[in-house]
Amino acid sequence: MKELGYYNGKIGELSEMTVPMNDRVCWFGDGVYEAGMCRNGIVFALDEHVDRLFRSAGMLQIRVPVSKEELKNLLDDLIRQMDTGNLMVYFQVTRGTGPRGHAFPAGPANLWITLTPKEINPDAAPVSLITGEDTRFFHCNIKTLNLIPSVMANERAKQAGCYECVFFRPGGRVTECSHSNVHILKDGVFRTAPTDNLILPGIARAHLIAACGRLGIPVIEEPFTVEDLPDADEIITSSSTAPCIRACRVDGRDAGMRDPERFAALHQAIFDEYFAQTGG
């Protein structure tokens, strides 16, 4: 199956696409991005992803070079050029192109899009996690390309044979993971960090909260700590590519797996919604 790339109007096989060395992304990682799952040619929660891209860009004073409708139409056009409708659709906007300098360049922003075949897996097995101090900056609510702390943390998790690294701030407050949000179930309540500047307001997170509402599961959007993880009835990570993953171990110790009925109900609700919105 082919992989497709787009850069400022140019379209080609992803492996053959190139970008200018003086794109701001090369100098500073100066941009924002989104990634969503596509099934049967339909991107799940597309409006939410596009809205968040524009919101992230606005907070960094990046002017997206197309309107929201133009971007959605472009994505639809590119998806139709693929030989499968089951994809990860990634799109990003970088501040522009120009000689290296910290001040903003005068030219327009650059639009990148990649489409790669990918299937979402509703039958993922429980995963192991590690924890690590959150050394990122204080704008985690912006989906920026500056991801070095997350890259390093995810590599530590990989080397430990784990799926994810759960971040915590000084004092023990859990924020999120290296590439997903993290939540717990405790005494029948779904607990998740508030959407302040220390976490990305995840789209899968929002859909989990909505599913809790439909299922009658109370939700508390308040900080919890790394010390709460071993006592949680369930530990759940969520992202657009893996919207409801259950954890069975944290830092080498058994954890979670104590509220299978609620987890199963949440998991079922999330994937029922995904399959219904992407063609049954």
Residue 169: CATH number of its domain:
3.20.10.10
Given 117, 144, 172, the domain boundary residue is 117
Given 85, 117, 149, the domain boundary residue is 117
**pLDDT at residue 42, rounded to an integer:** 98
pLDDT band at 59 (very low <50, low <70, confident <90, very high): very high
Does 150 lie in the same domain as 76?
no
List C-alpha distances in Å: 33 to 6, 12, 70, 77, 260: 14, 20, 16, 19, 34
Is 88 inside a domain boundary?
A: yes
Does 210 lie in the same domain as 131?
yes
**pLDDT at residue 109, rounded to an integer:** 97
Is 234 inside a domain boundary?
A: yes
Given 66, 84, 117, the domain boundary residue is 117
What is the average per-residue pLDDT within 136-144?
94
Structural domain boundaries, residue 92: 4-117
Mean pLDDT, all residues of the chain: 97
**pLDDT at residue 254, rounded to an integer:** 98
> Domain with 69 in it: what CATH number?
3.30.470.10
Does 182 lie in the same domain as 44?
no
Does 191 lie in the same domain as 249?
yes
Does 240 lie in the same domain as 138?
yes
Over the stretch 206-223, which tens digit does the pLDDT of each residue have?
999 999 999 999 999 999
Does 95 lie in the same domain as 207?
no
What is the average per-residue pLDDT within 55-77?
98
Examine the pLDDT at 195 and tell me if it is beyond 80.
yes
Does 158 lie in the same domain as 94?
no
Is 60 inside a domain boundary?
A: yes
Number of structural domains, the chain?
2
Is 223 inside a domain boundary?
A: yes
Does 220 lie in the same domain as 170?
yes
Is 103 inside a domain boundary?
A: yes
**pLDDT at residue 56, rounded to an integer:** 98
Q: Is 138 exposed, middle or buried (0-12, 13-18, 19+ CB in 10 A)?
A: exposed
Count of alpha carbons within 13 Å of 43, Cβ hemisphere only? Answer: 27
Is 122 inside a domain boundary?
A: no
pLDDT band at 193 (very low <50, low <70, confident <90, very high): very high
Residues known to be catalytic: 143
Does 144 lie in the same domain as 204?
yes
Distance CA 240, CA 244 (A): 9
Is 102 inside a domain boundary?
A: yes
Over the stretch 239-260, which tens digit does the pLDDT of each residue have?
999 999 999 999 999 999 999 9
Does 206 lie in the same domain as 133?
yes
Is 97 inside a domain boundary?
A: yes
**pLDDT at residue 242, rounded to an integer:** 98
Does 83 lie in the same domain as 134?
no
What is the average per-residue pLDDT within 161-178?
98
Over the stretch 72-130, which tens digit does the pLDDT of each residue have?
999 999 999 999 999 999 999 999 999 999 999 998 999 999 999 999 999 999 999 99
Does 252 lie in the same domain as 197?
yes
Over the stretch 28-44, which tens digit does the pLDDT of each residue have?
999 999 999 999 999 99
